[in-house]
Amino acid sequence: MRSPVFFVVALAVGVLVFTACRLVHNDYVFVAGYTVVQYVVLATAWNILGGYCGYVNFGTAAFFALGAYSTVAIHKLVPLPLPLLLLVGGTVSGVVGLGTGYQTLRLRGAFFSIATLALAVVVQTLVTNWDFVGGSRGAYVLRPQTIAPLGNYVQYLFLTMLVLAVVAVTAARMIERSRLGNGFSAIRDDELAAEASGVPTLRLKLVATTLSGAFMGMAGAPFPYSVGYVDPASSFNLAYAVNSIAMPLIGGTTSWIGPLTGAILLGTIQQVATVTISSAVNLLIVGLLLVAFVIVAPNGIVGLVTAVLRRGSKP
Amino acid sequence: MTRPLLQVNNLSKRFGGFVALESIDLTVAPGERLGLIGPNGSGKSTLVNCLCGTLRNETGTVTFDGAPLEGLATHQRTRLGIARSFQLPRPFVSMTLADNIRVPLLYAGGRTKPQLGTAAIDQRCAELLGLVGLAAKAAQWPRDLTQVEMRKLELARALAADPKLLIADEAMAGLSHSEVEDILTLLVRLNENGITIILIEHIMRAVMSFSERLVVLVSGRKIADGPPLEVIADSQVERAYLGH
């Protein structure tokens, strides 16, 4: 399926999901749905660098929080429409992603991962000490109660995140099937051999960190409007880093459908657990599922399904 | 006199206090078949890495096809026409054989050569895999290959970069007698098609039958350079390399 057609189909699925949610007549569905779809964007964004290029990023929370705090800062200066805030958040995180990439991409394996972890700590320290956006006290962001033509702003937030998820997944699919994706895969498999094959590895990795960071920032931009109060503890929550890694790993990292599947599965389980048990068990669920998948399906759900299909097609 | 394809002048490389290469001078003519030999640790692979840009030499210059290579990254040197196969095969394990070949076809042209279309790339993939005898396995993964097939895949991937100079780093290591012949035949055919080849090898039979000229490295220094039979008879080479 060609990318424009895929985008239209994905958009249609998004509209169907949104319409189905409206039929429930319960705003909590939109709140829970927003969280799940936000993780679809984060997992897809993480996978562009982590899954396609093989560079494990532990700093998702930093990029997410940069998007969120961009919104807080702009909200205090001049309130802008949500789509513009997404663009600003994406640009800020994308630029930081580019800079981080430039500084760290000569590092490989665990060293790169540790550097991204350090980035999260540095950004959190800066934000905690930046009074303009609330510092350690946090900041309240009052969102509009209604918006035309939807009426309910919670629904608008969900719809915005849904559209962002469609864009992110379509972009990931396009990358996967493009010359860029081919280069990313070569880098993941063997960087030295990729370079010897003419792949400009540093440049491609910078593209990956920028795109990945930008989508994470866009996912974080509506966060202040979603929760109403932003502080470093909530914006730099460990759950963002852990989930954005676990979801692609559980779904499968080599294809766009892996992070999507993992995020929907894990995100939904977490939302159900939040209302039936406690949100405190969310990370425990992630841990247990990760252990189970490492043992049963190290290549994730996509890898498992592919292997079963391949076995089935052999005479 | 024709311009040399590769010219190395006074090249040195150190790892801390260890001198890996010391004042190496080397000239390779277009279309030449050069054998590069030396005992383990003599600096052969280090020299290859310096030529390909994987390592940076501390002193000396490398000129390829008239262009200085200083400051160029490995992928830029590949685009100029230097391709290599690795001592230990390094296939892209998550890709099929055809996709392995597709990577250099997509990237090695850079911005200077016209980008091939999908159909042309598919055709070139099939041609290159056919050339090394792997056409039937185009849709398979590297994990399904034997050792000799893996070596052939390495060569096919290097050829996909459309090189002027191919550096085959121990492309026959660990292969049986007939498999060595297979690879040798392939290398000779490539050379006949105009590709200059530097063969780094421990299998003397292969080196002697393939090379028009032989260069010997020992402890990072070039100790001999000339026709294979003369070089092999050199007392210094016998003492240092053959051990008697």
Task: With beta carbons under 8 A apart, name residues in chain A contacting B102.
Answer: 182
- Nearest 10 degrees: Cα torsion B96, B100, B102, B106: 140
Backbone angles phi, psi at A275, to 5 degrees: -85, -25
**Can you tell me the mean pLDDT for B201-218?**
92
Half-sphere exposure of B18 (CA within 13 A, CB side): 8
Contact B54 A193 (CB under 8 A): no
The answer to which of A75-89, A135-149, B40-54 has the lowest mean pLDDT is A135-149
Instruction: Report pTM.
Output: 0.90
Nearest to B75 among A188, A200, A254 (CB): A200
**Can you tell me the mean pLDDT for A306-311?**
84
Q: To which residue do tokens 């060569």 refer?
A: B155
DSSP assignment letter at B166 = E
Q: What own/partner pairs with CB < 8 Å and gap ≥ 24 does B236-244 have?
A: B240/B39, B240/B216, B241/B37, B241/B38, B241/B39, B241/B216
Q: Which of B175, B211, B183 is nearest to B232 (CA)?
A: B211
- How far is the alpha carbon of B76 from chain A, nearest alpha carbon, in Å? 7
- Those of residues 116-175 in B touching chain A at CB distance below 8 A are 157-158, 160-161
Contact A193 B86 (CB under 8 A): yes
Residue A73 reports pLDDT greater than 90: yes
Per DSSP, the three-state class of A210 is: helix
Q: Does any CB of chain A come closer than 8 Å to the CB of residue B93?
A: yes
What gap in Å lies between CA B121 and CA B78, rounded to an integer?
18
Angle, helices A179-189/B97-107, rounded to nearest 10 degrees: 120
What gap in Å lies between CA B104 and CA B208, rounded to an integer?
31
pLDDT digits (tens, 9 = 90+) for A17-28: 999 999 988 889
pLDDT digits (tens, 9 = 90+) for B72-101: 999 999 999 999 999 899 999 999 999 999
What gap in Å lies between CA B198 and CA B51, rounded to an integer?
11
Q: Which residues does B2 contact at the CB level (< 8 Å), separation at least 6? A: B29, B30
Using CB atoms within 10 A of its CB, is residue B43 exposed (0-12), middle (13-18) or buried (19+)?
buried
Amino acid in the structure at residue A70: S
Question: What's the Cα-to-Cα distance from A234 to each of A4, A68, A128, A229, A238, rounded to whole Å?
Answer: 36, 10, 12, 9, 9
Residue B35 reports pLDDT greater than 80: yes
What gap in Å lies between CA B176 and CA B194, rounded to an integer?
27
Domains annotated on chain B, with CATH: 6-242 (3.40.50.300)
What's residue B1's pLDDT?
58
Q: Which residue of A has its CA nearest to B81?
A: A198
Backbone angles phi, psi at A261, to 5 degrees: -65, -50
Contact A195 B78 (CB under 8 A): yes
pLDDT digits (tens, 9 = 90+) for A95-129: 999 999 888 877 888 899 999 999 999 999 999 99
Q: Which of A293, A136, A151, A313 is nearest to A230 (CA)?
A: A136
**What ipTM describes this predicted complex?**
0.91
Average pLDDT, chain B: 91
| Mutate: best of A197, A201, A254, A299, partner B, most B CBs <10 A | A197
pLDDT digits (tens, 9 = 90+) for A205-260: 999 999 999 999 999 999 999 999 999 998 898 889 999 999 999 999 989 999 99
Task: Measure CA of the first residue to CA of the last residue in chain A; give whole Å.
Answer: 28
Q: Does any CB of chain B come closer than 8 Å to the CB of residue A199?
A: yes
Domains of chain A by residue range: 3-237
Question: What's the Cα-to-Cα distance from A36 to each of A247, A297, B161, B241, rounded to whole Å?
Answer: 11, 23, 44, 66
| Per-residue confidence band for B2, with pLDDT thresholds at 50, 70 and 90 | confident
Residue A191 reports pLDDT greater than 60: yes
Contact criterion met (CB below 8 Å) for A189 and A201: no
What gap in Å lies between CA A161 and CA A239, rounded to an integer?
18
What's residue B242's pLDDT?
60
- How far is the alpha carbon of B105 from chain A, nearest alpha carbon, in Å? 8
What's residue B243's pLDDT?
63
Two structure tokens written together for A299: 């290549």
DSSP assignment letter at A185 = H
What gap in Å lies between CA B1 and CA B27, rounded to an integer?
13
What gap in Å lies between CA A284 and CA A294, rounded to an integer?
15
